Amino acid sequence: DAGVTQSPTHLIKTRGQHVTLRCSPISGHKSVSWYQQVLGQGPQFIFQYYEKEERGRGNFPDRFSARQFPNYSSELNVNALLLGDSALYLCASSLYSGGSETQYFGPGTRLLVL
Amino acid sequence: KQEVTQIPAALSVPEGENLVLNCSFTDSAIYNLQWFRQDPGKGLTSLLLIQSSQREQTSGRLNASLDKSSGRSTLYIAASQPGDSATYLCAVTRNAGNMLTFGGGTRLMVKP
């Protein structure tokens, strides 16, 4: 069975540009969450989506947005990129949105902003 | 606001040692606690999930304990191997949602 997949694996952008990151959850999983992991730190929660609705939002500026599609895949969009947005962006999926669910992480997209 | 701290930040041990990684959290009103492993430049692999009503979970050479009232969890690794070298992260969820709040991780190196 395929795990969580993310694309692209690596990305280089310049300040002010826009980026779209994509995530496909494990088949049958309806919940997708996004995390940002800056080098040397633990991941920080950005968004959670369940059944195409936003269920949670972390402490990130409005430049960050996301959506979930009918097939439960998800996109994370970041506008007006800053140098500080350079990080590993992780997607996690779970069957439902409940706290008892184990979350399964993808390999991440490494974004470098120059 | 929930804060999760992991001590030590880095640890180097010879192969075969038993070791303990520590995780503490400031708000004891958690729903569950998970331990993850992260290899360099890679995503996270879930190792153990402990529900708030449980005291410990075991998987192979790994044992995780949870003391919710004191805001502490430990991950015990028995007979460490070079293949255990990785960063270990603990994370807690609040209430019934599954937004994870992570610690900064412990970077473990097991020397042959």
**What is the number of CB-based contacts under 8 A between chain A and chain B?**
77
Per-residue pLDDT of chain A (114 residues; tens, 9 = 90+): 679 999 999 999 999 999 999 999 999 999 999 999 999 899 999 999 998 999 889 999 999 999 999 999 999 999 999 999 999 999 999 887 665 678 899 999 999 999
Radius of gyration of chain B measured on its C-alpha atoms? 13
A23, A29, A105: which to substitute to probe chain B, counting the most B Cβ within 10 Å?
Answer: A105
Cis amide leading into B14 (omega within 30): no
- The residues of chain B scoring below 70 in pLDDT are 95-97
Partners of B87 in the beta sheet?
B38, B107
Question: Which amino acid is located at A23 in the chain?
Answer: C
Radius of gyration of chain A measured on its C-alpha atoms? 13
Chain B closest-CA separation from residue A17 CA (Å): 24
Whether the Cβ atoms of residue A20 and residue A76 lie closer than 8 Å to each other = yes
Contact A107 B43 (CB under 8 A): yes
